[in-house]
Structure 1
Amino acid sequence: MDFHELGSKIIEEYKDVFSRIDDRMIDAFIHEITTHERLFFIGVGREGMMTRAFAMRMTHMGKEVHWIWDDTTPGIGEGDLLVATIGSGEIGHIRYVCERAKEHGARIVIITGSPSGNAVKLADFVLFIPGQVYGGTDDVAPSVQPMGNLFEQSLLIVLDMICIKMVDENPDITYEKMEKRHRNVE
């Protein structure tokens, strides 16, 4: 397959993923984010990178944001939201973090490409991104790409689209205000 043919195929895969996403689920996810001031995030590998990009945008939107693996992350508790990306639905050490967060009263949102996964049962809310994920077992958009590429790429795009939607729906959030919160020591 040549480069342009492959690009066209991948764009068709994105269309397949996005056509399977329930708008109500996106709105409910936005509600979870907007009704919590302190947001904690966790993810690993490429999924983690995409999740971390979203966490950065939440900081730009004025949220108090913490990445679970950072040494400066405070304790989590009641009123806090943990957003965990578990593409396959079961990653042992992320499951452990979710269990501890739940014990301390945090609300748990899991973003996954495999909602039948065992760890997903811990979630108070699940955002299902139906793209092929490494180790997933659910009915999702298939891909010519290796492992979890389609899920990971779709994750970044969906989370960026959520940011755009949040700006569109909230007059208190503007791109200009977000830019003022961007790190300025680069």
Structure 2
Amino acid sequence: MLGHPCPFPPTPADGRSAAKRTITTIVENESDFINDIANRDGKGNRRIRRDHVRFVLPRPLRPHPTIITSESGDFGAIMLCSATAACASLDPGTDPAAGGNQEVNSVSSSPYQGALKELESVFSRLDDAKVDEVVDVIAKARSTVVFGGGRERLQIMGFAMRLYHMGVPVAVEGDMTTPPVGPGDVFLVTVGPGEISTALALIGVAKAAGATVVVITAQPNGRAPRMADLVLHLPAQTMADDQGAAKTSILPMGSLYEGALFVLFEIMVLKLRERVAITPEAMRARHTNLE
């Protein structure tokens, strides 16, 4: 990123001297600013706390690239300007277009972008050919029974609902109407951390009965995927790696994996819809009216 002088010096909101070192840079997007400049002073030292940085101009008024100047201390004024507009020296958390009292597009909104980028990273590493294998197995199965624990269960139950809408025989493990599984059936399991005791027990029962076991997981070397006939690796943080140096997501615990499951299942629905040749109208006609 390139430095660029700003024509107007910042005026600290707390009345301190404006002679302190400032950071002025041209950034192509907000995430560059948050991830780099917002955390470093002119010597590369991390000085500015992320939660004290504010983007104070509404997006429609913010030209690209944006020239951003900030005082290098923990607190202070932040200046945003462009080559064609005068800079605005203002206190973090204020919006000059709204009279200086309204926070606009602050760092508090940046987790949305962060979470979306993390999901993008998950799917950039997903083996789509393996997804097609799972779709093919489900399409050919006599019936599919699904299982997941905790919040993963919510996601796979939603997938089961869509399978029903497509006319694909399906049941959710634990329901009173769940049929027995055997040869020709699929037991589809999501177990992000690689193992939970319930999943291990049920996989053992399904395999002993002759069903095909498909496991979706973020830990392909876990005990559950090692028992499976087919494994789909969904590379996202779970409770197996959400602490200490292993933690990679801004989201808590297994939320990234669970969110990725939702997206994965919706794409699988699209693939299955073509595979079983059912129209959106036919799916909609199978939606319950008891709501």
Pair 1:148-2:148 in alignment? no
Deviation of the 1:172 alpha carbon: 2.1
Could you tell me which amino acid in structure 2 is paired with residue 6 of structure 1? P
1:50 paired residue number? 155
Contact persistence 2:155–2:258 (CA under 8 A) = yes
Q: Which amino acid aligns with 1:100?
A: V
Kindly indicate whether structure 1 or structure 2 has the higher relative contact order, using CA contacts under 8 Å at least 6 residues apart: 1
Question: TM-score, normalising length from structure 2?
Answer: 0.60
- Residue 51 of structure 1 deviates from its aligned partner by 0.6
Q: Which runs of 5+ in 2 are unaligned?
A: 1-50, 52-106
Whether the 8 Å CA contact 2:156–2:190 is kept in 1: the answer is yes
Asked whether the equivalents of residues 77 and 105 of structure 1 are also in contact (C-alpha less than 8 Å), the reply is yes
Asked whether the 8 Å contact 2:139–2:276 carries over to 1, the reply is no
By how many angstroms is 1:161 displaced? 1.2
The superposition leaves residues 129-165 of structure 1 with CA deviations (integer Å, 9 ceiling, x where unpaired) of 111111149xx99311110000000001111011122
In structure 1, runs of 5+ residues without a counterpart are none
RMSD between aligned alpha carbons? 1.7
Residue 267 (structure 2) aligns with: 161
Say how many residue pairs are matched: 183
Matches within 5 A, 1:55-70: 55-70=160-175
Q: Percent identity?
A: 36
Higher helix share: 1
Q: 1:133 to 1:76 in 2, by over 3 A?
A: same
Q: TM-score, normalised by structure 1?
A: 0.93
Which residue type is aligned with residue 52 of structure 1? Answer: M
Describe how 1:77-156 pairs up with structure 2 within 5 A.
77-136=182-241, 142-156=248-262
Give the secondary-structure state (helix, strand or coil) at the position aligned to 1:18.
helix
Q: In 2 relative to 1, CA 141–183 (structure 1 residues): closer, same or farther, beyond 3 Å? A: farther
